[in-house]
Amino acid sequence: MEREIKDSQNFLHDKKLVYNLVTNSNINNNDIVYEIGPGKGIITNQLLSVSKRVIAIELDNSLYQSVNQTLISEKLTLVNQDFMTVKLPDGNYKVFSNIPFNMTGEILTKLLTAANPPQDMYIIMQYEAMLKYAGTPYYKNSLKSLMFKPLYDIKLVYEFQPSDFKPKPNVFIVLVHFHKKEYCDIKKATMIEYWDFLSFIYTAPGLNFKQKTKKIFSYEQQKRLKKIINLDEELNFSDWTYLQWIKMFDTYKQLVCQDKKKLIEGSYQKLLIKQSKLEKIHRNKNSR
């Protein structure tokens, strides 16, 4: 059954606020911008004034028809399609979107794990979701924040008032800027290798360094690594810094034998399958 995106979306209504948000972004007239869920077109209209082209993707047919009739521009490509089925471009592009909050995880995962992720993303999202993706300095690092910190600097740029939206949300909403780094922090390895490493440790039994890494590093390697990254052995893994994770992964790539590395391979995919099964069980329980 087709999702009714409009039922899960809160629309901005203040043109002056939208003008300020868009003009204070780094979007310029050389940029191709994707907008996911243009809704009534208030952001779309402003994006058209500052960018080279806007590709606006709207699943809801009535909203699509409304924007199609009210916004006429050669710079606008309006697509009546589910964003999750849209092929992302091979060249440079940016994203500016007030996304449906109930699809935040799906949309960000598609964008951030794409073969060619966007150069910049300005995403209007719930504050709690921002904490999960941004991690420190806003909150503790999570698996999501650690996955994407090597690729992106993530910054909260605006805090909305409930009155900025119709209908008024009962959650705290923010605008978050994801800016792609010039150079990835992961060197001489693929992102999948890094994600496998993260996923393996996150799902390993225990809470501290010794418990979480005993299947990866030998006792001597653990001892050496603790000194290299200046890590308190009893510190909960959720309190490890991003730099400690990166140095730990670098050491893993350099010192760990191939047989042990094979234990790690595929950990990210296994985690995705496990999460998918849990989500299916949760959906089935809620549908009863």
What's the average model confidence in pLDDT over 268-284?
76
Q: 208-217, pLDDT tens digit by residue?
A: 999 999 999 9
Q: 141-163, pLDDT tens digit by residue?
A: 999 999 999 999 999 999 999 99
The rounded distance, in Å, linking the Cα atoms of 35 and 150 is: 24
pLDDT value at 6 more than 70:
no
For the packed helices 191-203 and 267-286, what is the interaxial angle rounded to 10 degrees?
60
Instruction: For the chain, give the mean pLDDT.
Output: 92
Q: 25-61, pLDDT tens digit by residue?
A: 999 999 999 999 999 999 999 999 999 999 999 999 9
Q: In this predicted structure, what is the pLDDT of residue 287? A: 52
CA 60 vs. chain centroid, Å, equals: 23
For the packed helices 242-255 and 191-203, what is the interaxial angle rounded to 10 degrees?
110
The rounded distance, in Å, linking the Cα atoms of 105 and 192 is: 19
Nearest to 5 by CA among 57, 71, 78: 57
* Domain residue spans of the chain: 5-180, 191-280
Nearest to 24 by CA among 175, 181, 182, 180: 175
CA 118 vs. chain centroid, Å, equals: 11
Give burial (CB, 10 Å; 0-12/13-18/19+) of 79.
middle
DSSP one-letter code for 153: E
Whether the CB-CB separation of 218 and 226 falls below 8 Å is answered with no
Confidence of residue 2 (pLDDT cuts 50, 70, 90): very low
What burial letters (b/e) apply to 145-178, b meaning 16+ CB within 10 Å? bbbbbbbbebeeebebeeebbeeebeeebbbbbb
Q: In this predicted structure, what is the pLDDT of residue 278? A: 67
Query: Which residues have a Cβ under 8 Å from the Cβ of 51 and sit 6 or more positions away?
Result: 27, 28, 29, 31, 32, 33, 75, 94
CATH architecture type of domain 5-180:
3-Layer(aba) Sandwich (3.40)
C-alpha count within 13 angstroms, C-beta hemisphere, residue 26: 12
The rounded distance, in Å, linking the Cα atoms of 234 and 214 is: 14
Place of tokens 């992964």: 249
Task: Please confirm whether the linkage preceding 137 is cis (ω < 30° from 0).
Answer: yes
H helices of 135-266, in order, are: 143-148, 191-203, 209-213, 219-229, 242-255, 258-264
Q: 155-202, pLDDT tens digit by residue?
A: 999 999 999 999 999 999 999 999 999 999 998 899 999 999 999 999
